[in-house]
Copies of this chain bind each other. A is one copy, B any other.
């Protein structure tokens, strides 16, 4: 099942309406290889001859984040679709510093070790976010 179809199922199952703006945002995020900002999405939608208010885009992205369907990539200020939907507490991204292309991965062992180190430092960690910067296969 595609990301858009899956997301629509999630929206319906949680009682959220499936609207044109939400479909448009999902579609823009699905196609993107690199993180897209709210204003990027605004431009993408306009290029298709349609229009979405930027406030709506912010609200849709906020909802999709809360449903763990998309992530905010802090180092880029943009959003990407969530590829690993069943790993809620630990997200790792490889972001190419040149083209911005992004790959998501997860690693249980890393996650466990980080929690242990945190515990030794008197800290109860709930969420790990790693953004590794480097060069992707193509940009090298």
Within 8 A of B (CB), among A87-140: 92, 94, 96-97, 103, 105, 107, 109-110, 113-114, 117-118, 121-137, 140
The reply to whether the CB of A74 lies closer than 8 angstroms to some CB of chain B is: yes
A137 to B125, CA, bound (A): 11
Count of A interface residues, CB-CB < 8 Å? 33
The 0/1 profile, CB within 8 Å of B marked 1, for residues 69-81 of chain A is 0000011000000
Query: Given A110-B114, A113-B109 in contact, is the A103-B121 Cβ separation under 8 Å?
Result: yes
Q: Check if B110 sits within 8 Å of A135, measured CB to CB.
A: no
A74-B74, A74-B75, A122-B136 as given contacts; A117 in contact with B107, CB under 8 Å: yes
